């Protein structure tokens, strides 16, 4: 994964020392820096593979595969001078890139603290920083920085007394003023390498794309349901809804009826008096030949509608389809008949609240929208290295210490700051769900026919739990020495040298300790009790299992986030296998408890499956990393039902990964990172937020085009991370039987706020729901050994394009306004524009949004073509005009014809 430049902090550090003035009285240099320094960051040169000297420097400094970039931190002292003698301060900063050296100065000592936290200490060569002085610090960093969100906010200073202060100019979740344009110093800095064939998003490139994808101009969208049903027949013209919708719920369970009525209120469709449109609900499984859970029938007539569900879920989904037929802008309802059933039993959405905490309110809002579009699995990522997010009775340190971030180098009170959180206790990195919060979330989800699948990621990504249990150990060591180690997660004698993907050297729990499994068992029992209290028994346990490896490697691109297998990139430094120096693990292997140190991940999975089965939980799940050494799940695991989230990028063998998992006896939930990770940017524009180790861009259309059963066919219609073609081979037809479903993911490394959660998920969630529920005609059947690439032509691209246009028309004309009414802050797209005969033409990917231009004085609605010279900036507005999208200044080249 990408890493933000730590040089930022570096520069600041130097600045801090220099700002000191003897006449300041009690104000320290650290205070001066926090109050008076302004900071900007900029990329100098991204890796292009042509600078031999730079590659040599990178290799000498330990850069993976000699892949490095350079960047600069600018520090401006806008206060009094700081003298050379004022060095009693330290500058801390966040960086998700390994910065290897300071190239133009020797007066600062750079130190890696933990994870993405670094510090800069002035040395005796520090000469101070004068009032008004600009200090430029040039750095060599591993890999590249192609999006502005690689840089983190909230640098902070610490004085000699240990008091931490955020540099005020960086104390914002917005980095707009902190980061200079990526292409400022080189127009090709948005590229990663010479072979980068991606298309940079510009006004003209957007216009060309949007024009090619223009939604259907007819009114078929009125009867288009998202997600698309198996069968729909229009039975007449749409008619007006005058006084809302009234439901005769029949056998529908009261929690689901209440949830549906809440949805009516959101969409301003609740009955307002006599004459409301009547809807009758019934449930009769015997009336369905195909016994698919969630199936339903819907008949909409002018005098009323009837919903017949196969089961409770089917009745609920029939009501959601009724609302999908409503155009809330005109308050009309399409007249149709529907027969429908889901294609997959697992239709999931994942939310990471470990890296950055997100509120209960945004979780409940997400569950509302999942229900509206018939998603039924909420994968809740409740722990990671950077935070533990659920109260566990009997283990108070998990939340007292593990859920909080502050400046405490001993980590007895909290975890160290990470990911731009800064040192203050009130930050996006701190927070947790109480037992009552979690019960409310589970109950809320169950009413909407959504199963909550809790995940506590282990054995890697577990630092928050490790630090918390060490705090417990220290608290009890004197009063109860025997009980102190009951839930300890590390072997104190393990001195294995490793570095995780997120730059931790102490984040892997030890799988060879009995105390580890006492901890997991305790966790399972307490979470199970919460589900029972919510009236929704715990039926699935996700143990995580991802990335238990060491990036200080020498033989595999998998060990280095961002390395390129096609170019043979490797990590230059030596490593040790995790846990190889643990006496407890050496003993376990010597006694035959595990086949080898390399097999300890599988050993952990097997023991956890025993705990899950013992608790009476039917299903265990993992990321594919966690079970890669298990060849036969049916024999190895105690749980009878097991599935795996398969996330490997498709151009790097994702299709084959999924096939291997199926061959090993696992069901597969397709979760491929280059199509279904919503923390990837929407487009190739450095101003878009997102990680991009898997994909440089994941627009809504790309998710819509995903083919979960035959992912190999995507090689015909998509490119790899560098915009180049790739190839893949279809597995045997039997593979489809092991695909349980698909799932979208939102990881939160660069998603700090609830508003960013909504921006990154919506409207991509609707495309996810479409593919999870409906199999399109353009999805090809599996033919074992069939080859796909940019050179083949098996996919019906016209059918795919027509399907997208219908989807985009329904999305723009109906669903975006429903998101507005629900208070969802979806991404408003950036406009495309083109100059034609002196006039500015603009386009958007969806209808229903307003287009605006800034003429230098005010924003005006675009109704007709305007002179290009009059346009200073462009933007789009949300369907109800409450929110404006990102404004762009067009760099338009005159053209006499549309392109």
Per-residue pLDDT tens digits for 653-683: 999 999 999 999 999 999 999 999 999 999 9
pTM for this model (two decimals): 0.94
What pLDDT is attached to residue 1? Answer: 37
Question: Where is average pLDDT lowest: 226-235, 261-270, 878-887?
Answer: 878-887
Q: How far is CA 356 from CA 387, 421, 874, in A?
A: 8, 8, 32
Share of the chain above pLDDT 70, in %: 93
Note if 547 is an active site residue: yes
Supply 542's token pair.
Answer: 């996700």
Question: What are 534's two structure tokens?
Answer: 């919510």
Q: Which of 115-119, 364-368, 687-691, 833-837 has the lowest mean pLDDT?
A: 833-837
| Pairing mode, strands 728-729 and 108-114 | unpaired
pLDDT of 179 reads: 96
* 545 vs 8, residue with greater confidence: 545
- As a whole number, mean pLDDT of residues 782-802 equals 97
Q: What is the residue whose two structure tokens read 């595990």? A: 594
Tell whether the model's pLDDT for residue 894 goes beyond 60: no
Domains of the chain in sequence order: 29-170 (2.60.40.290), 231-340 (3.30.379.10), 349-466+516-546+602-795 (3.20.20.80)
| pLDDT band at residue 565 under the 50/70/90 scheme | very low
How far is Cα 417 from Cα 605, in angstroms, rounded to an integer? 31
The mean pLDDT of 440-452, rounded to a whole number, is 98
Calpha distance 631→642 (Å, rounded): 13
The neighbour count for residue 717, using CB atoms within 10 Å, is 15
pLDDT tens column, 408-426? 999 999 999 999 999 987 8
Among residues 204, 547, 688, 758, which one is catalytic? 547
What is the C-alpha end-to-end distance of the chain, expressed in Å? 36
pLDDT of residue 442: 98
Burial 106-122 (b: 16+ CB within 10 A, else e): ebbbbebebbbbbbbbb
The pLDDT-based confidence of 65 (bands split at 50, 70, 90) is confident
The pLDDT > 90 percentage for the chain reads: 79
Predicted pLDDT at 50: 66
Average pLDDT on 711-723 reads: 97
The arithmetic mean of pLDDT across residues 851-876, rounded, is: 89
Compute how many other C-beta atoms are within 10 angstroms of the C-beta atom of residue 783: 15
Residue 787: cis peptide before it, omega within 30 degrees of 0 = no
What does the pLDDT average to over 601-611? Answer: 96
User: Between 304 and 102, where is the model more confident?
Assistant: 304
pLDDT at 560: 36
**pLDDT tier, 552 (very low <50, low <70, confident <90, very high otherwise):** low
* pLDDT value, residue 238: 96
- Among 9, 849, 94, smallest CA distance to 422 is for 94
Inter-residue contact 639 to 617 (CB < 8 Å): yes
Instruction: For 510-525, write each residue's pLDDT tens digit.
Output: 999 999 999 999 999 9
Burial class (CB in 10 A: 0-12, 13-18, 19+), 495: exposed
Per the CB < 8 A criterion, the answer to whether 676 and 743 are in contact is yes
DSSP H or E segment with residue 773 = helix 764-773
């Amino acid at each position: 994964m990408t890493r933000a430049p730590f040089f930022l902090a570096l520069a600041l550090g130097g600045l801090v020392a220099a700002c000191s003035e003897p006449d300041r009285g009690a104000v320290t240099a650290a205070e001066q820096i926090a109050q008076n320094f302004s900071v900007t960051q900029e990329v100098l040169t991204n890796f292009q593979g042509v600078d031999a000297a730079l590659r040599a420097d990178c290799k000498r400094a330990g850069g993976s595969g000699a892949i490095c970039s350079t960047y600069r931190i600018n520090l401006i002292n806008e206060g009094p001078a700081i003298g050379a003698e004022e060095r009693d301060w330290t500058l801390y900063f966040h960086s998700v890139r390994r910065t290897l050296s300071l190239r133009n100065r020797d007066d600062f000592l750079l130190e890696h603290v933990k994870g993405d936290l670094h510090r800069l200490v002035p040395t005796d060569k520090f000469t101070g920083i004068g009032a008004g002085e600009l200090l430029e610090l040039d750095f060599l960093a591993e890999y590249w920085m192609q999006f502005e969100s690689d840089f983190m906010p909230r640098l902070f200073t610490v004085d000699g007394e240990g008091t931490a202060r955020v540099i005020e100019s960086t104390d914002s979740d917005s980095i707009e003023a902190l980061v200079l344009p990526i292409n400022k110093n080189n127009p090709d800095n948005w590229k990663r390498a010479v072979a980068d064939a991606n298309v940079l998003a510009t006004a003209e490139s957007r216009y060309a794309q949007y024009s090619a994808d223009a939604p259907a101009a007819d009114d078929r969208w009125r009867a288009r349901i998202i997600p698309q049903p198996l069968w729909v027949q229009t039975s007449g013209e749409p008619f007006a809804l005058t006084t809302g919708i009234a439901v005769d719920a029949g056998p529908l369970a009261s929690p689901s009826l209440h949830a549906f009525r809440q949805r009516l209120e959101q969409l301003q469709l609740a009955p307002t008096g006599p004459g409301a449109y009547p809807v009758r609900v019934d449930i009769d499984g015997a009336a369905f030949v195909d016994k698919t859970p969630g199936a339903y029938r819907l008949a909409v007539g002018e005098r009323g509608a009837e919903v017949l569900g196969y089961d409770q879920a089917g009745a609920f989904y029939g009501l959601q389809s009724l609302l999908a037929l409503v155009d809330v802008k005109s308050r009309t309802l399409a007249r149709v008949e529907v027969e429908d059933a889901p294609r997959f039993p697992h239709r999931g959405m994942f939310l990471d609240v470990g890296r950055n905490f997100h509120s209960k309110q945004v979780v409940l809002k997400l569950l509302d929208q999942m229900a509206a579009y018939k998603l039924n699995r909420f994968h809740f990522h409740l722990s990671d290295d950077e935070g533990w997010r659920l109260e566990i009775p009997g283990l108070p340190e998990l939340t007292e210490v593990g859920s909080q971030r502050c400046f405490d180098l001993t980590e007895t009170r909290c975890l160290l700051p990470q990911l731009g959180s800064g040192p203050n206790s009130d930050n996006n990195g701190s927070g947790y769900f109480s037992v009552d919060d979690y019960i409310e979330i589970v109950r809320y989800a169950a009413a909407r026919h959504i199963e909550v699948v809790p995940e506590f990621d282990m054995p890697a990504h577990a630092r928050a739990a490790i630090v918390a249990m060490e705090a417990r150990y220290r608290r009890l060591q004197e009063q109860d020495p025997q009980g102190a180690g009951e839930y300890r997660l590390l072997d104190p004698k393990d001195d294995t040298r490793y570095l995780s993907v997120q730059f931790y050297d102490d984040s892997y729990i030890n799988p060879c300790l009995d105390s580890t499994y006492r901890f997991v068992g305790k966790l399972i029992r307490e979470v199970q009790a919460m589900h029972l209290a919510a009236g929704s028994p715990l039926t699935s346990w996700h143990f995580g299992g991802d990335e238990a490896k060491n990036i200080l490697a020498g033989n595999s691109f998998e060990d280095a986030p961002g390395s390129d297998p096609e170019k043979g990139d490797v990590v230059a430094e030596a490593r040790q296998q995790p846990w190889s120096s643990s006496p407890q693990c050496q003993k376990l292997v010597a006694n035959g408890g595990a086949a080898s140190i390399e097999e300890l991940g599988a050993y952990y999975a097997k023991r956890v499956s025993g705990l899950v089965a013992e608790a009476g939980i039917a299903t265990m799940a993992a990321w594919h990393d966690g079970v890669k050494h298990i060849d036969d799940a049916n024999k190895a695991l105690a749980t009878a039902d097991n599935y795996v989230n398969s996330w490997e990028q498709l151009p790097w063998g994702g299709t084959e990964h999924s096939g291997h998992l199926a061959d090993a006896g696992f069901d597969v939930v397709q979760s491929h990172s280059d199509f279904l990770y919503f923390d990837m940017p929407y487009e190739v524009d450095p101003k878009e937020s997102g990680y991009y180790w898997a994909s440089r861009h994941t627009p809504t259309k790309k998710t819509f085009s995903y083919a979960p059963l035959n992912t190999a066919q995507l090689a015909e219609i998509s490119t790899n991370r560098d915009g180049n073609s790739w190839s893949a081979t279809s597995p045997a037809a039997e593979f489809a039987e092991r695909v349980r479903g698909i799932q979208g993911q939102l990881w939160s490394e660069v998603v700090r706020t609830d508003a960013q959660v909504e921006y990154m998920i919506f409207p991509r969630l609707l495309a996810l729901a479409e593919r999870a529920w409906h199999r399109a005609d353009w999805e090809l059947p599996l033919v074992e050994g069939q080859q796909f690439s940019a050179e083949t032509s098996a996919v019906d691209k016209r059918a795919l394009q027509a399907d997208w246009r219908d989807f985009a028309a329904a999305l723009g004309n109906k669903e975006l306004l429903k998101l507005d009414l629900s208070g969802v802050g979806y991404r408003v797209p950036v406009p495309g524009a083109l100059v034609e005969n002196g006039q500015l033409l603009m386009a958007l990917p969806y209808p229903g949004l307003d287009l605006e231009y800034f003429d230098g004085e005010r924003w005006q609605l675009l109704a007709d073509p305007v002179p290009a010279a009059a346009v200073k900036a462009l933007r789009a507005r949300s369907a109800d005009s409450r929110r404006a999208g990102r404004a762009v200044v067009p760099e338009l080249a005159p053209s006499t014809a549309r392109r």
